[in-house]
A and B are shown apart, each in its own frame.
Chain A
């Protein structure tokens, strides 16, 4: 079909945007060059005979995966620990986030009912907001490293790490959800002399409860993914087992753990989607 058409020899006639594309392609290459140097980007070292031998041996070990009963039981236990760390961490995050949300949300401000918010409540709200920002801007893995130092190896460090990071995220998103809704009911209640907690329970919570629960369930799903990884720094769960097996170059065990890991994440994904549907 196209063979019968006469193709103009000048590329600019064939493709009007040709010069622009060429420019951006070259610009990208020039920008990328120093980055490639900085990341020591040398793919060919993967193909060096020595490396190739080690990695192919490791990969060949993947099959068959380790299925001995004792090991499977151990993995089942670690998988449960992963879920438990995520659940306990999310619970801790909730316990920390709810009071901070209640303090920091502008909807429940009594002084702003009549004009601008007073200076002291404004300052308190800003302080809480900054605390939330700090809590969530330290990645959970870093929190875990710190807590492993302070409370020792084990699940406690994982629970604390997830609890702190996620309380920052939950607190921020809860505040945003509450502030994006309709405020009339809450303001009316407070104008008529109800307390702030009453205004929250009768005016703010009912219209936002679905959104709040569905975000919490989504975070729980993320927490499962995170807690599986936290084991790498010694906070218990599947990650720790994976780290051990990898240090011993035991491909079969690594394969089993990876499969269990993918199943766990997939299951959490399905369960959280189902829960969010039921909670509607």
Chain B
């Protein structure tokens, strides 16, 4: 705004660069960052675009086009797909429960609420949230061992952070009418929450949870790569053994799952917004 006024005052010249132009400086910074990134990374672009690499890529793509379609393998794939779905569902439900439990002390629900535990709970939620599911999975492997249980816990921990924060925001922004009416009658805080706040925000909590579930299905398919069960674990296993036909069908299954989830959520949103 200030720049516009400045330019209008001395209307004769409009230089394309001004020292006080923050956008120019930021753009310059981003360009420098990009150049530095490419310069320091040692990408070996020569090797990347060599004939040898093109050949390998071609062979790889060729192998991907011949998926393993034996009934016995497809059955295993189906089981792994179900495992992925179950992992995401259980992880999300656990996260919704624990997220709500942490969100209640993490929110200042009315003006006179002392909210002693707010800072600590927010810290815990932020910590849970800032570590990605995949890192959680790798950490949990040490105590839970390989398999879908580690993946479920990893999803649950990360999603607890995400949902807890969203939930506490919706508790704080909930309309105060009903809660205030109960509060002036001397009803206890826990009852106010159960009978006034929770019923008003539950649609919002549900939609957050469903949205995270959608994300978690995608995440669960990938989590297995570090050992969290489901399609990802199968992929890491068969790829490690260079069994390209199996790898190809697992990749196709993952893509199908993701596309299916995307389409379902698109249709659901279309139906609901109508």
Contact = CB atoms under 8 A, between A and B. Distances in A.
Pair from one complex: yes
Interface in B196-238: 218, 221-222, 225-226, 229, 235-236
B175 interface: no
Q: How many A residues are at the interface, by size bracket?
A: 35 or more
A24 to B, nearest CB: 12
Chain B contact patch, size range: 35 or more
Nearest to B148: A39
* From B60, B148, B225, residue with most partner A Cβ within 10 Å: B225
Contact of A91 (B34, B130, B135): B34
Given A36-B90, A46-B144, A151 B47 contact: yes
Contact of A41 (B23, B43, B82, B149): B149
A229 B134 contact: yes
B243 to A, nearest CB: 13
Interface string A89-111: 00100000000000000000000
Contacts of B26: 275, 278-279
Given A151-B53, A246-B138, A278-B23, A39 B222 contact: no
Contacts of A279: 23, 26
Nearest to A257: B135
B259 A133 contact: yes
Nearest to A159: B43
* Majority-rule SS of B interface residues: helix
B145 A45 contact: yes
B18 to A, nearest CB: 15
Contacts of A242: 135, 138
Interface in A1-60: 1-2, 28, 32, 34-36, 38-42, 45-46, 51-52, 54-55, 58
Given A41-B152, A138-B254, A232 B235 contact: no
A42 B130 CA distance: 26
Nearest to A134: B255
A153 B139 CA distance: 23
Contact of B53 (A150, A243, A262): A150
A85 B229 contact: no
Contacts of A42: 149
Interface in B11-60: 22-23, 26, 33-34, 36-38, 40-45, 47-48, 53, 56-57, 60
Contacts of A229: 132, 134-135
Contact of A40 (B22, B33, B147): B147
Given A51-B145, A80-B40, A84-B37, 15 more contacts: A35-B89, A39-B152, A45-B144, A91-B37, A137-B255, A137-B262, A139-B221, A142-B225, A142-B254, A154-B42, A156-B43, A156-B44, A229-B132, A232-B225, A265-B130
Interface of B: 22-23, 26, 33-34, 36-38, 40-45, 47-48, 53, 56-57, 60, 82-83, 85-87, 89-90, 93, 127, 130-132, 134-135, 138-139, 142-145, 147-149, 151-152, 186-188, 218, 221-222, 225-226, 229, 235-236, 239, 251, 254-255, 258-259, 262
